[in-house]
Chains A and B, each alone.
Chain A
């Protein structure tokens, strides 16, 4: 059974349940399958998808003039299904999927803020992405909303958002952010605590909303790749790749093998850099300076090689539509092989020291436990999911080239604490080293970029990439002029930010930094 056939019995089941579902061919969305669903059946689709054991991957909307189109992407066993429906713009009401899939909560609120679609039955009527930069009667992703907007001379602060309150004797509130104590992105955390114990944490994000979906409109392919590379600066390679994959599928462009292998090499280098740096940062958050400086040193050395080989410390703008911007000089093949060998040894040595320290174990074991059932319910991807038993990795489950020719080892843990997330990331680093060696050994010769071909009007494409944080989904549609009409990047952080609220429960406030770091959601990638 090919992955695509996974959904055939599901579609039969939907038909038997009386849902009017129509399959539609869409080459750009492949390997995902596209179905059209009547809007009245949307809620039942969610219920059936849940019963079938699907994961809710992402939801996004498009202004199509008279109607507003809503898409929801589901996944099961590496097969993807895009369900599509439409609601009249004059009465944009659709049933919510949140009751079936808690992970749909914030994405649906985002769609409401951006497109004005009301999700009936949604448990939370509060806005999410919108603060005070535009009015509640305005919807930035509608076509008649100008990208420049109608901003006030000064945007007021969003101090009237109603946080949920815990009450009782000794309960107090700690507001944190958006300007944090460290050098990190802005967001607001509202703690309710008793003594040192966290009763409840509520996140308020959206501070770094830069209008990425809106300002993507009207760009050419190269311009979109640049923008995608800045959705989340730490994942510049993964997001650029996902967006380019979506655009290339939309036009049916065949990317030269060498370019694909180089993309994977960059993506694995990005994974190693972030994992290594973050393991140091987690050690910093438990005040173990030695570990922090050692891993920061390793990350710096790694980034310098990236710069020498590809011209940029983060390899930003190295992935372009059709291929890659710069070739890899032959001398780096041996150099990177040595680099990987040396780093592997260094990490083993460092970890043998760190594993010996009861003071480290005391801070990370049993801290910030994300129960497997919560991870599954929220659809957590990446190392957050894999440290809590959710075994998903696009590179293995829906392999895109060159991973279809490589063996991807996917570490899995079940305990879901800070320790499990750190272990998962360490083991993923080791798996990346193996992949880098494989990529260097098998790097094909040939061109590094295919000539861009103009897209057909209304062509759409879907990119799915396993970035270092997990599965990235990127949707692209071209307009009649060959320019971008819609861009929606779903960063994995959408699935892991809600997990942080759950896993911090009953932990002490001073453990929040290490819990937060162990998840390391992207603010920018989430706020868009």
Chain B
């Protein structure tokens, strides 16, 4: 146990503004996000992530939001296990026809008012997979969408920015 504390002490807090890669400071986006969530969601935004047929690339980056560098929970955002607990659906695509019914049901199970964000190039318009016998393409072809986050996959910062914009649009 002492060694665990020692390690934690030595590593310190890595969560910080990200100065590299010419990205705007993470804390700045985070502060806006927190203010928006504070004003509109009582300080807590619950997100249900739905993979509706993605290649898993978007999921890896959504995962990264929870790593110590981005630590999205500190801004009041947390991922929940059920759509019934969610304020927002973060849906990656393309929506496969085999996931179409499950996505509709997940949407119906989410209490109103609800926000839906289509994530990634495939969620936006079908991306590399388009529309076919197996794919419905864009998320908006299946359920109403409030905002889109582009990228293949979108980086964690893109995702944070996109969530912020979606909240802003709701007012």
Q: Is A22 an interface residue (CB 8 A)?
A: no
Q: A131-B98, A148-B131 are in contact. Are A234 and B3 (CB under 8 A)?
A: no
Whether B130 and A215, one on each chain, are in contact in the complex, defined by CB atoms closer than 8 angstroms, is yes
Inter-chain CA distance A230–B129, complex, in Å, is: 9
B90-108 CB contact bits vs A (8 Å, 1 = yes)? Answer: 0000101111111011100
Residues of A close to B61: CB separation below 8 A: 313
The CA-CA distance from A296 to B60 in the complex, in Å, is: 11
A178 touches B99 (CB 8 A): yes
The residue of chain A having its C-beta at the shortest distance from the C-beta of B120 within the complex is A233
| Minimal Cβ-Cβ distance residue in B for A312 | B152
B128, A230: Cβ atoms closer than 8 Å? yes
Bound-state CA distance A356–B4 (Å) is 10
Known A-B contacts A186-B99, A207-B99, A353-B4; the reply to A233 vs B129 at CB < 8 A is no
Contact A522 B98 (CB under 8 A): no
Interface presence of B40 (CB below 8 A): no
Question: How far does the alpha carbon of A215 sit from the alpha carbon of B81 in the complex, in Å?
Answer: 33
One of A260-268, A297-305, A365-373 contacting the partner: A297-305
The answer to whether A215 and B53 touch (CB under 8 A), given A296-B67, A297-B68, A316-B152, is no
Q: Is the CB of B133 within 8 A of A208?
A: no
Determine the distance from Cα of A178 to Cα of B105 in the docked complex, in whole angstroms: 11
Contact A181 B55 (CB under 8 A): no
List residues of chain B with CB within 8 A of the CB of A182: 81
By the criterion CB–CB under 8 Å, are B20 and A157 in contact? Answer: no
CB of B129 within 8 A of CB of A184, answer no
* Interface membership of chain A positions 125-164, coded 1 if the CB is closer than 8 angstroms to chain B and 0 otherwise: 0000001111000001000011111110011111000000
Q: Identify which of B6-14, B24-32, B163-171 touches chain A.
A: B6-14
**Is A208 in contact with B51, judged by CB distance below 8 angstroms?**
yes
Q: Which of A151, A226, A227 contacts B133 (CB 8 A)?
A: A151
Pair B96/A307 contact, Cβ less than 8 Å: no
Contact A234:B60 (CB < 8 A) given known A226-B128, A353-B4: yes
Would B69 and A300 count as touching, CB distance under 8 A?
A: yes
Of the candidates A185, A214, A227, which one forms a contact with B56 in the assembled complex, judged by CB atoms under 8 Å apart? A185
Q: Is A403 in contact with chain B by the CB < 8 A criterion?
A: no
Q: Which of B1-51 contact A (CB under 8 A)?
A: 3-4, 7-8, 11, 14, 20-21, 49-51
Task: For the complex formed, measure the closest distance between the CB of A271 and the CB atoms of chain B, giving whole angstroms.
Answer: 15
On chain B, the number of residues with a Cβ less than 8 Å from chain A's Cβ atoms is: 56
Contact check: which of A133, A300, A313 meets B98 at CB < 8 Å?
A: A133
Residues of A within 8 A of B59 (CB): 183-185, 233
Asked if A236 is an interface residue, CB under 8 A from chain B, the answer is yes
B98 touching A314, Cβ below 8 Å: no
Residues of chain B lying within 8 A (CB to CB) of residue A230: 55, 57, 127-129
Residue B138 interfacial (CB < 8 Å): no
Please state if A293 and B21 are interface contacts (CB–CB under 8 Å): no
List of A residues within 8 angstroms of B8 by Cβ: 290
Q: Are B51 and A185 in contact (CB under 8 A)?
A: yes
Q: Is the Cβ of B3 less than 8 Å from the Cβ of A183?
A: no
Q: Tell me if A214 and B54 are in contact (CB < 8 A).
A: no
Residues of B within 8 A of A299 (CB): 67
Residues of A within 8 A of B75 (CB): none
Chain B 110-147 near chain A by CB (<8 Å), digits 1 or 0 = 00000000000000000111111111100000000000
**Which residue of the partner chain A has the closest CB to B53?**
A208
Q: Is B58's beta carbon under 8 Å from chain A?
A: yes
B7→A183 contact, CB < 8 A: no
A210 within 8 A of B: yes
Q: Which of B21, B69, B79, B98 contacts A206 (CB 8 A)?
A: B98
Chain A, residues 179-195, CB within 8 Å of chain B (1/0): the string is: 10111111000000000
**Which residue of the partner chain, among B52, B56, B64, B132, contacts A147 with CB atoms under 8 Å?**
B132
**Complex partner residue of B134 from A211, A236, A304, CB under 8 angstroms:** A211
Q: Which residues of A contact B81 (CB under 8 A)?
A: 181-182
Our pick among B55, B96, B97 for the contact of A232 (Cβ within 8 Å) is B55
Complex-state Cα separation, A236 to B60, whole angstroms:
12
Q: Quick check: is B76 within 8 A (CB to CB) of the other chain?
A: no
- Is the pair A208, B98 in contact by a Cβ cutoff of 8 Å? yes
Q: Which residues of B are found within 8 Å of A206, using beta-carbon distances?
A: 98
In the complex, per-residue mask of A308-319: 1 if CB is within 8 Å of any chain B CB, else 0:
100001101000
User: A148: which of B20, B58, B68, B133 is its contact (CB, 8 Å)?
Assistant: B133
- B residues near A297, Cβ cutoff 8 Å: 11, 14, 67-69
Q: Within the assembled complex, what's the spacing in Å between the Cα atoms of A207 and B134?
A: 10
Q: In the complex the two chains form, what is the Cα distance from A157 to B103 in whole Å? A: 10
Cβ–Cβ contact B57 & A234, under 8 A: yes
- The CA of A147 and the CA of B129, in the complex, are separated in Å by 11
Most buried by A among B20, B21, B98, B102: B98
- Chain A residues closer than 8 Å to B96, beta-carbon distance: 133, 207-210, 527
Q: Is the CB of B102 within 8 A of A207?
A: yes
B53 touches A294 (CB 8 A): no
Give Cα distance in the complex from A496 to B8, angstroms: 36
A349 within 8 Å of B by Cβ?
yes
Q: In the bound complex, how far is the Cα of B104 from the Cα of A390, in angstroms?
A: 43
CB pair B7 A353 closer than 8 Å? yes
Tell me if A418 is interfacial: C-beta within 8 Å of chain B.
no
Chain A residues within 8 Å of B131, by CB: 148
Q: Once bound together, how far apart are the Cα atoms of A178 and B83, in whole Å?
A: 13
CB distance from B64 to the nearest CB of A (A): 6
Contact status A233-B153, CB under 8 Å = yes
How far is the CB of B135 from the nearest CB of chain A, in Å? 5
* Residue A523 is within 8 A (CB to CB) of chain B in the complex: yes
A296 to B102, CA, bound (A): 30
The CA-CA distance from A425 to B29 in the complex, in Å, is 36
Contacts of B56 in A (CB 8 A): 185, 232-234, 522-524
* Residue A514 is within 8 A (CB to CB) of chain B in the complex: no
Further pairs besides A132-B98, A226-B128: 15, Cβ < 8 Å? A140-B134, A154-B101, A158-B98, A181-B82, A185-B56, A186-B51, A186-B99, A186-B102, A206-B98, A211-B134, A212-B129, A230-B55, A230-B129, A313-B61, A524-B55
Q: Which chain B residues have a beta carbon within 8 Å of chain A's beta carbons?
A: 3-4, 7-8, 11, 14, 20-21, 49-64, 66-69, 79, 81-83, 94, 96-102, 104-106, 127-136, 152-153, 155
Q: Could you give 12 example pairs across A and B, Cβ below 8 Å?
A: A146-B133, A148-B132, A148-B133, A154-B104, A182-B81, A184-B59, A210-B135, A227-B128, A230-B55, A233-B56, A236-B57, A527-B96
Q: Pick the 8 closest A-B CB pairs, nearest first.
A: A149-B133, A233-B57, A211-B134, A133-B97, A157-B101, A181-B81, A233-B55, A296-B67
